[in-house]
Amino acid sequence: MSTAETTLKRTLSTRHIVYLGLAWMTPMIYFTVYGVAYESAGGMLTQAYFLAFVAIFFTALSYGRMARTFPTSGSAYTYVGKSLHPYMGYLVGWAILLDYLFSPLIACLTFGLFLHEQFPSVPLWVWVVGLNAVLAAINILGVSVSALLSKWFVWIQMAFIAVFCFFLVRNLFAAEAEAVSSPLQPLFQTDVPIAVILAGASVICFCFLGFDSVTTMSEETVNPGRTIPRAILIIITLASILYLTPSYLTQLLHPNMTFNNADTAGMEVVRLVGGSGLSALFVTVLVFAIFTQGLSSFTTVSRLLYVFGRDAVLPKRVFGALHPKFRTPAINIVIVAAFSMLALVISLDFAVKCVSFGALTAFTFVNLSVIFKLYIKEKKRSFKDTIMYLICPLIGAGFIGWLLSLLDGQALWLGMSWLALGVVYYFFRYRIQPLFTASKNKSLSGPLAEDAPASR
C-alpha cells in the first residue's frame, strides 16, 4: 500500500478517547503539584480547584464545539486556521507544537529523575533512553495499543486516589474531628482573600491541561463529531471529581498544614494520611502515571506533526507519511523520541514553561475561534446561541488570557522566541524556497500555499 493510499485507522470509541485524555492529564498530578498549589491558594485547595474547573470548563466547551464543527485532526491548528485565518492557525499550531513536543520530554525527564533518585546506581540516561524506546515502540504498533495500556494505568491512578480518600474518611471518624459535625465549614472560610485563591487557581489550571490532546485523534475516532466533544466533557468532569474530592477531605481533616519541601508535599500528605504503607504504594503508582502520560503525549504530538506534514506545513514526504502496515506516523514517532532525548540536557523548569505558553496560547485562540466561526461568520445569534457562541467563549478566552499574562518573564520570552522562529520558518518555506523550485508542480500544496509565489 503506498503512502498516498494509507490513512489513519478509525478504531477509537468514546471510552478509548477518555482513557487517552486522562492518561495525558495524569490524575496523579494532584499529588505532584500539591505543595505549590497549597501555598499559592493559601491552603484553600478546594475553592481553588473549583474555580480552575469553572475556568477550564468554558474552554472545554469551545473545544467540543470546534471538534463538532471540524471533525478532523489538528486541534487548535485546524480550528483557528479554518475559523480566523490560515496565518493565525499556523502560528497557533506552532505554539501548541511547543506544548506537545515538550510533554513527552517532561515525562521522560521526571521518570528518569524519580527512578534515579530511588536507584542511584542506575544512571539517569538509562531510564530516559529506555522509556523513550518503549514509548516509541508501543506508539508505532498503533493507537489502540496505547488506549488499552492507558485504560489500565488510568484505573490504577483512580484506584489509588480512591484508597487515599478512604484513609481520609477513616481518619476523620477515628479522630472524631470537629469537621465531621460541620462538614461545610472549610468551604466558607473567609480569612483567605479571594485574590490568593484565584492565584492558586491559576496554578491549578495546569492540572487540567491535556483534555485538548484528544482532538488530535479525530481521524482515528469513530464518529468524531459526536465522540470527541462528549469525551472532552467526560474527561473534565472526571478530573474535577478526582481533584476536588481528596482536596475537600484533606482540608476537612487538616485545615492547616506546613511542609518541609513544597516540591515533595504530596508525598508528605500521603504519609501523613496513610503511613509508610500507603507511601510505598504511592511511589509505585506515580511511576505508572508518568509512563502513561508519556505514552499519551507521544501519541498526541506524532498526530499533530502528521497533520502538519499532510498539509505541507512541514515536509510532507517525512511528516505526512504513515507506516504501511500499522498505519501510524512512525517517522514522527521516531522524531519525537529523538527530541525527547533532550531530557538529558534540559531542566524540568524550562520544559514546563514551554508547555504552559503553548497550551494557554492555544486555549485562548480556540475560544476566539468559536466566536468568529459560529457567532460572526455563521451568524448564530439567537438568545441561546449568544450564550453558547459568544458569552461562554468570551469568559473562557478572558480567563485563560489572564493566566497567560501571569506567566513569568522567562516563560513569555521563551514563547515569543519560539513564535519568532515559526515566522522565520514560514517565510523561508513559503517565500524563499519557492523561488528555487524548478517547476510549479513541485510547489507546496498546504492550506497556506495560495500565499506562496510559486502557487500563483
Across the chain, mean pLDDT equals: 83
Do 64 and 77 lie in a common domain? yes
What average pLDDT does range 173-195 have in this prediction?
Answer: 67
Q: Determine the structural domain holding residue 447 and report its residue range.
A: 408-456
Q: Locate cell 485532526: which residue? A: 73
pLDDT at 178: 57
Is residue 285 assigned to a domain?
yes
Q: How many domains does the chain have?
A: 2
pLDDT at 454 over 50: no
Do 76 and 173 lie in a common domain? yes
**Confidence category of residue 453, pLDDT binned at 50, 70, 90:** very low
pLDDT at 189: 63
Do 72 and 106 lie in a common domain? yes
Do 384 and 424 lie in a common domain? no
Is residue 2 assigned to a domain?
no
Do 225 and 135 lie in a common domain? yes
Is residue 94 assigned to a domain?
yes
**Residues 17-58: tens digit of each pLDDT:** 888 888 888 899 888 788 878 888 888 888 889 988 988 899
Is residue 6 assigned to a domain?
no
Is residue 7 assigned to a domain?
no
Do 97 and 209 lie in a common domain? yes
The DSSP-derived string for 401-455 is HHHHHTS-HHHHHHHHHHHHHHHHHHHIIIIIGGGG-SSGGGS--STTGGGSGGG
pLDDT at 421: 94
**Residues 339-376: tens digit of each pLDDT:** 999 989 988 778 877 888 888 898 999 999 999 999 99
Do 47 and 120 lie in a common domain? yes
Do 48 and 68 lie in a common domain? yes
Is residue 3 assigned to a domain?
no
Tell me the sheet residues that pair with 12. 221
Is residue 214 assigned to a domain?
yes
Do 270 and 292 lie in a common domain? yes
Cα 41 to Cα 200: distance, rounded to the nearest angstrom: 4
Do 336 and 239 lie in a common domain? yes
Whole-prediction pTM? 0.79
pLDDT at 358: 86
The DSSP-derived string for 121-156 is TS-HHHHHHHHHHHHHHHHHH-HHHHHHHHHHHHHH
Do 413 and 278 lie in a common domain? no
CATH number, domain with residue 295: 1.20.1740.10
**Residues 402-428: tens digit of each pLDDT:** 878 877 788 889 889 999 999 998 888
